[in-house]
Amino acid sequence: MRIAIVGYPDSVKKILKTLEPQYPQIKFIAYEIEKLGSFVENLKELKGRVHGIFSTGIGVHSEIVSKLNLDVPMVYSNREAGSVLKALWEVREDYSEIKNLKIGFDIVERDVLMDMLEEFGISLKSINVQEYEVDKGESDFLDEHIRNLIRNDVDCIFTAFGYVYDYFKKKNQPVYRLQATKNEIINQMEALLKDIKINENSKNRIGVKVLKVVRRFRKDENYYDKSVFRMKLNQIFLKYSKELQGSFQELLEDEYIFFTTQRILEIKDSEINFLKLLNEVSILGGKVFVGIGYADNIQEASINAKKALNISLMNGKGEIYLFSDDKIRGPLYKRNRYDYSTKISDTIDKEAKKIGVTAKYLSKIRALQESFRKKEFTSKELAEILEITERSVNRIVKPIIENGFAEILEYEVCSKAGRPRRVIKFKF
């Protein structure tokens, strides 16, 4: 088993030092970074090479989730009571009375921090907590720490960011590193191993792929031309089914189904071969609509694949959708891909009525926020991702704004003539 450890050098080293003696059967791959941002592109090579990713913090984790489609189990090293206590112990060596200190924290959850201070009877003069926010980068945390120091709102900084720590250390400013403890690291590792096991088991399920090929024949094409086209299709599909180590059959005159396993469908080579297949069919003049389904048996997997195919057909763009475990994923291999649940809980239903939107669209909007790691979207973005018109977006958003669950931040200036697009910020 191979697991990547990704993050700031000192945190990567500590995690490796903690985990390697505990798990000698696992090969750990270290990816050290100095600052969030550009490093993400280098992690693309991890796809298909590792079974899981252990990030040194939530910032690194969020960058990977939002910018890469690695589709492997991931955890991050969180900062709980142990890491705060360790930093406070170091402070005692520099300050005789910590009860007179004003401390600025980042990443730690305020409730966790307050409970810990109360539990251990620790008093501080004041605390300033920057909790994690999806659209807030490490430079934003650094800037706020600097402002707090200048205003004398804090005496010292407790940070989970190696970049922020090094900055203040070079400036000879009072700063302390919030490092996860050994116990916290091992707990997260156990959670990762559990997720990897679940992921491996799920990939042994049946995988079914249904293709509908649409081609408009010219008036001068005869029955022979159509037969040649279908013969070439069959040759392409037979080759692909062998690559899948599975089988295929023609359901209807223009509909084909492939049977294999989820594991094989998700292998990188299988994906590459399928994209080649789509290109070959396109060269022949065909447009392909694709639905993929996973389940524990062929019947359910086939039903799921048909549901996904119907979504592809409704969109009419010849895109690929996946249906599994009551979730729709797609369009695959596109930048506007997102995952949303088709199963509506009573809680979502009640919340949707309160917000002023249908449960279906509430589920989709929540999925967008999670997939794109933000709460602000232009009306054009929402239209493209939800695959509806901007007029429909405005109709859906209007009651949400009226009920106070969204607001218009600004208007996006269009380069071309036309009505400016709104920037909508959701508050849920």
Give the angle 137-11-126 at the CA atoms, nearest 5°: 60
Half-sphere exposure of 176 (CA within 13 A, CB side): 22
- Fold entry, domain 203-334: Alpha-Beta Plaits (3.30.70)
For the cut 60, the answer to whether the pLDDT of residue 418 exceeds it is no
Q: Cα(249)–Cα(234) distance, rounded to whole angstroms?
A: 9
Answer with the residue of higher pLDDT: 78 or 392: 392
- What per-residue confidence (pLDDT) applies to 371? 78
Q: Cα(100)–Cα(94) distance, rounded to whole angstroms?
A: 13
Q: Cα(212)–Cα(127) distance, rounded to whole angstroms?
A: 61
> Domain extents for the chain?
2-77+183-200, 81-179, 203-334, 343-426
Which residue type sits at 329? R
Residue 150, exposed/middle/buried by CB under 10 A (0-12, 13-18, 19+)? exposed
276 falls in which pLDDT band (50, 70, 90)? very high
Answer with the residue of higher pLDDT: 345 or 191: 191
* 343-426 is a CATH 1.10.10.10 domain: yes
Gyration radius of the chain over CA positions: 26
pLDDT tens for 191-228 read 999 998 888 777 788 999 999 999 876 766 777 777 88
For the cut 80, the answer to whether the pLDDT of residue 168 exceeds it is yes
**Mean pLDDT computed over every residue of the chain:** 87
Q: Is 71 left (phi over 0), alpha (psi -120 to 50) or beta?
A: left
Q: Cα(283)–Cα(277) distance, rounded to whole angstroms?
A: 10
Q: Cα(91)–Cα(276) distance, rounded to whole angstroms?
A: 60
Q: Cα(427)–Cα(408) distance, rounded to whole angstroms?
A: 11
Average pLDDT estimate for 312-341: 88
Q: Decide: 323 and 291 in contact? Cβ < 8 Å.
A: yes
For the cut 70, the answer to whether the pLDDT of residue 36 exceeds it is no
For the cut 60, the answer to whether the pLDDT of residue 80 exceeds it is yes
- Fold entry, domain 81-179: Rossmann fold (3.40.50)
252's enclosing H/E stretch is: strand 247-252
pLDDT tens for 238-272 read 999 999 988 889 887 789 999 999 989 988 889 99
Q: pTM higher than 0.85, yes or no? A: no
- What is the dihedral angle through the alpha carbons of 4, 267, 208, 344, rounded to the nearest 10 degrees? 20
Q: Cα(411)–Cα(380) distance, rounded to whole angstroms?
A: 11
What ranges make up the beta strands (E) of 2-87? 2-7, 27-32, 52-55, 74-76
Fold match flag (2-77+183-200 vs 81-179):
yes
Answer with the residue of higher pLDDT: 288 or 383: 288
CA 212 to chain centre: 29
C-alpha separations of 114 from 124, 127, 298, 301 in Å: 11, 10, 52, 48
For the domain made up of 2-77+183-200, the CATH class stated in words is: alpha beta
243 φ/ψ angles, rounded to the nearest 5 degrees: -65, -30
Residue 291, exposed/middle/buried by CB under 10 A (0-12, 13-18, 19+)? buried
To the nearest 10 degrees (0 to 180), the angle between helices 81-92 and 182-202 is 160
Q: Cα(258)–Cα(250) distance, rounded to whole angstroms?
A: 9
Q: Decide: 374 and 385 in contact? Cβ < 8 Å.
A: no
Three-state DSSP state, 71: coil
Q: Could you please report the per-residue DSSP string of 228-251?
A: HHHHHHHHHHHHHHHHTTSEEEEE
Q: Cα(15)–Cα(246) distance, rounded to whole angstroms?
A: 41
